[in-house]
Amino acid sequence: MRAVRPTSRREVVRAIGGTFGALAAPRVLRAAEPDLRFGLTPVFLTSDLELLQRLKSRLERATGRSVKLITRRTYQEITALLVSGQLDAAWICGYPFVAYRARLALVAVPIWKGRPLYRSYLIASADRSAAGLEDLRSDIHAFSDPDSNSGWLVTAAALAEMGTDPAHFFRQTFFTYGHRNVIRAVAAGLAGSGSVDGYVWEVMRETEAELVAATRVVQASAWLGFPPIACPIALADDPAIHRLRHALTDMENDDDGRVVLSMLRLDGFRAEEPSLFEPIAEEMRKVRGGSTG
């Protein structure tokens, strides 16, 4: 009978290391996955660095992926990155979502005041007596972004119904590339009126009360689909997108998520159908005078 050679300390360590190495392999692979690239447009309240960091940390913990937040000055830049697959997902506006709906899929939609809806506001200075869009004729008017639903399309569609357009109705228009900047422009008298995201105006009424008090809502639009989180349609069934959707829709169920939602003044996120944005598609048809594609 062959004698059994005593096992050395080195061999024991090697064996234990091999066992733990095999067990740890999936974690190593997960850690080696590329960043989850998440884009943010000016519809998002990006000036709060603490909010951005908390959002990033919450998404990383919930998805198990390193998250890279990517911001740009215009909606067009973020939309181009998303449609071309250079972003995995982005918080965009309903207008570009509808414009590129053949190439994008919904991930989740924010819930504000109990519904996945918001409105566009026409605003003017607080001491002005204007009662509606007609009273803003010949104004210098501030828009947020040419690809913004609340900050351009809603007003352009209303003017199309009146048989005119922004270039002929207003004396002058300009884009501020940020809903906050529309409010600032009107408050400072740089514009007589502006088109702005109602959610942003309402949040700023809490966070920057003195600034917003210099403006007033002249007219609010119908309720429309809240700016959604979308992904390239090619990634719609990707496990990473499923984890991201769960991270968003489950945010209200843990302390860290509730802190982020509180900072955003949102109730949560919810999976929704693309039909939620059909009223925005109708606005596009009014402005373009044809099919939205």
pLDDT tens sequence for the chain (293 residues): 334 344 343 333 333 233 333 333 333 334 567 899 999 986 655 557 788 899 999 999 999 999 999 988 889 999 999 999 999 999 999 999 999 999 999 999 999 999 999 999 999 999 999 999 999 999 999 999 999 999 999 999 999 999 999 999 999 999 999 999 999 999 999 999 999 999 999 999 998 999 999 999 999 999 999 999 999 999 999 999 999 999 999 999 999 999 999 999 999 999 999 999 999 999 999 998 844 44
Give dist(CA 258, CA 266) in Å, integer.
Answer: 9
Q: Beta 104-111 vs 229-232: how paired, if at all?
A: antiparallel
pLDDT of residue 11: 37
What domains lie within the chain, and their CATH numbers? 31-114+225-278 (3.40.190.10), 120-221 (3.40.190.10)
User: Tokens 């003044």 appear where?
Assistant: 265
pLDDT of residue 227: 96
pLDDT of residue 30: 47
Give me the phi and psi of 124, to 5 degrees please. Answer: -145, 180
pLDDT of residue 32: 60
Residue partners of 276: CB distance under 8 A and separation at least 6: 109, 116, 225
